[in-house]
Amino acid sequence: MTLNRRHLLALTATSLVSGVASGQTYPSKPIRLVVNFAAGGTTDVIARALAKPLSAILGQQVVVENKTGALGAIGAAEVTRAAPDGHTILFTTQGSLTEIPVLSPQTPYDPLTALAPVTLIGESPLILFAHPSFPANDMKGFIEYAKSQAQGVDMAVTGSSVKLGTFAMQGAAGIKITQIPYAGQGPALNAVLGGHTKLALNTSTTALVQHVQAGRLKFLGVGSEGPFKLLPQIPPISQTLPGYTAKAWWGIFAPAGTPPEIINKLNQAFKRALSEPGIDELFVANAVILMTTTPAELGRIVSKGLSDTKALVAKYQIPPE
């Protein structure tokens, strides 16, 4: 055996031992679970519900931190700059990975190289809802009303998924929608409740469903491919706009370079936490379908999502941020 070959084998063995050791000793301190959206939204609610069982499973406290701004890019960028040791991880929607980098060329990270996928958490379609005073009760009436208004209609938007879904709706329906930006689901919901903005497109929350049941808001349509099993009373938007879909997914990511042993440990920890009592009921209450993946599967979802966003931007000529 040559000296170079012996040296290479020694380096490989050292690397393998180091990787195993990092997985065995992880975590060695509290874990920051960064949520890049405001408190009170679906992402924040789910993250805080999972933090307690995750802390018990991993043996270290999992602390949720909200880092908002730039449609989620600020929080995501912070995680990309963190040490790749599994002690800072990101809980986000697809917007930060598959949409913002396309809509905003200045996004300070490459989603395919700056973050390591851990697992998918769940997905949910976007829902169009309105203040009770809005003069339409379904998609057909919504489109007819929007076309009758010289200035179109205003709609509360939060995040890139809602922004893209709104542009797609505008293009497919041939109407004008002025997007009114809000910092998160909570502020947007309150704006519609107060009648400041009569319409919003967003994922569901327990609060939204309760407000609809109390007559303070009303559903107009859902962005699923067909009837949405968790809220079957809402007609699919695709019945009026064939082919229209709009949905969000949630996933966990670590900084690129995080050892595979730590990624796998996090993957298994999240899957265990998601099976804890009460978690499934929380997902159902927020109209989120629970689903998990391997890290590789989530990586493929991100890659396809980027391609889909580029196609949507080109089709509807959506301007960059």
pLDDT of residue 258 exceeding 80: yes
pLDDT of residue 26 exceeding 50: yes
Strands (E) located in 88-175? 88-93, 115-125, 127-130, 153-157
Q: Which residues of 5-41 are buried (b: 16+ CB within 10 A; e: fewer)?
A: eeeeeeeeeeeeeeeeebbeebbeeebbbbbbbbbbb
| Domain 31-124+247-316 and domain 127-239 have a common topology | yes
Rounded (5°) CA angle 125-127-132: 165
Fold of 127-239: D-Maltodextrin-Binding Protein; domain 2 (3.40.190)
Contact 234, 212 (CB under 8 A): no
Give the SS3 label for residue 237.
helix
Q: What is the pLDDT of residue 14?
A: 52
What does pLDDT average to over the chain?
92
Strands (E) located in 76-152? 88-93, 115-125, 127-130
Higher pLDDT, 72 or 133: 133
CA dihedral 255, 63, 27, 52 (to 10 degrees): -120
Q: What is the pLDDT of residue 38?
A: 84
pLDDT of residue 96 exceeding 50: yes
Q: Which one-letter DSSP state was computed for residue 287?
A: T
Measured between its terminal Cα atoms, the distance across the chain in Å is 58
C-alpha to C-alpha distance for 56 and 31, rounded to whole angstroms: 12
* Cα atoms found within 13 Å of the Cα of residue 319, Cβ hemisphere only: 1
The owner of tokens 């930006």 is 181
Beta partners for 64? 33
pLDDT above 90 covers a percentage of the chain that reads 82
The two beta strands, 218-222 and 199-202, are unpaired
C-alpha to C-alpha distance for 177 and 197, rounded to whole angstroms: 12
Average pLDDT estimate for 105-120? 96
pLDDT of residue 13 exceeding 60: no
Higher pLDDT, 21 or 140: 140
Q: What is the pTM of this model?
A: 0.84
Q: Which one-letter DSSP state was computed for residue 199?
A: E
Average pLDDT estimate for 82-87? 99
pLDDT above 70 covers a percentage of the chain that reads 93
C-alpha to C-alpha distance for 319 and 194, rounded to whole angstroms: 30
Q: Which one-letter DSSP state was computed for residue 182?
A: -
**CA dist 115 → 203, 217, 273 (Å):** 25, 38, 22
C-alpha to C-alpha distance for 75 and 35, rounded to whole angstroms: 7
C-alpha to C-alpha distance for 299 and 260, rounded to whole angstroms: 14
C-alpha to C-alpha distance for 157 and 165, rounded to whole angstroms: 10
Which burial class, exposed, middle or buried, applies to 119 when counting CB atoms under 10 A from its CB (0-12, 13-18, 19+)?
Answer: buried
The owner of tokens 């300070």 is 108
pLDDT of residue 233 exceeding 50: yes
Higher pLDDT, 223 or 286: 223
Instruction: Grade residue 201 by pLDDT with cuts at 50, 70 and 90.
Output: very high
Instruction: Grade residue 99 by pLDDT with cuts at 50, 70 and 90.
Output: very high
CATH architecture of 31-124+247-316: 3-Layer(aba) Sandwich (3.40)
Average pLDDT estimate for 29-45? 92
Q: What is the pLDDT of residue 270?
A: 99
Instruction: Grade residue 3 by pLDDT with cuts at 50, 70 and 90.
Output: very low
pLDDT in tens, 39-72: 888 899 999 999 999 999 999 999 999 998 887 8
C-alpha to C-alpha distance for 152 and 154, rounded to whole angstroms: 7
Ranges of each domain in the chain: 31-124+247-316, 127-239
Dihedral sign from CA coordinates of 296, 300, 303, 306: negative
pLDDT of residue 90 exceeding 90: yes
pLDDT of residue 2 exceeding 70: no
Q: What is the pLDDT of residue 133?
A: 98
Which burial class, exposed, middle or buried, applies to 84 when counting CB atoms under 10 A from its CB (0-12, 13-18, 19+)?
Answer: middle
Average pLDDT estimate for 144-150? 98
